[in-house]
Structure 1
Amino acid sequence: MENETDRSRTIEQLEGIEWPDPPSDGTGLVKAVHNLRKRPINLLTAWEMSRLIGQDVGIPWLLPVALEILRETATDQPLGGFYDDDLLTAVLTRRSPIWQSNPQWAANLKEVISLLEDISPNTREDVRSFFLEAETKASN
Structure 2
Amino acid sequence: MSKKTDRGKTIEEVEGIESPQPPPNGTDLVKAVHNLRKRPINLLTAWEMSRLIGQDVGIPWLLPIALKHLRETVTDQPLGAFYDDDLLTAVLTRRSAVWHSNPQWTADLKEIISLLEDISPNIHENVHNFFLEAGAGAKD
**Which TM-score applies when normalising by structure 2?**
0.93
Q: 1 or 2, which has the higher helix percentage? A: 1
Q: Structure 2: how far apart are the matches of 1:41 and 1:83?
A: 21
Q: CA deviation at 1:3?
A: 6.7
Q: CA deviation at 1:52?
A: 0.3
Task: Check whether the contact 2:3–2:60 (CA below 8 A) recurs between aligned residues.
Answer: no
Q: Structure 2: how far apart are the matches of 1:135 and 1:62?
A: 23
One-letter code aligned to 2:90 = A
Q: Structure 2: how far apart are the matches of 1:30 and 1:14?
A: 20
Task: Check whether the contact 1:64–1:105 (CA below 8 A) recurs between aligned residues.
Answer: yes
The superposition leaves residues 62-84 of structure 1 with CA deviations (integer Å, 9 ceiling, x where unpaired) of: 00000000001111111112110
**Which TM-score applies when normalising by structure 1?**
0.93
Q: CA deviation at 1:4?
A: 2.8
- In the other structure, the counterpart of 2:133 is 133
The superposition leaves residues 78-100 of structure 1 with CA deviations (integer Å, 9 ceiling, x where unpaired) of: 11121100000000000110111
Q: CA deviation at 1:5?
A: 2.4
Q: Structure 1: how far apart are the matches of 2:132 and 2:67?
A: 19
User: After TM superposition, which residue ranges in structure 1, 4 or more long, deviate above 4 angstroms?
Assistant: none
- In the other structure, the counterpart of 2:75 is 75
Q: Structure 2: how far apart are the matches of 1:73 and 1:135?
A: 26
- The sequence identity of aligned pairs, in percent, is 78
Q: Structure 1: how far apart are the matches of 2:128 and 2:84?
A: 18
Matched position secondary structure for 2:75:
helix
Matched position secondary structure for 2:5:
coil
One-letter code aligned to 2:45 = T
- In the other structure, the counterpart of 2:64 is 64
Q: CA deviation at 1:41?
A: 0.7
1:46 aligns with 2:46: yes
- In the other structure, the counterpart of 2:124 is 124
Q: Structure 1: how far apart are the matches of 2:60 and 2:4?
A: 11
Alignment RMSD? 1.3
One-letter code aligned to 1:59 = I
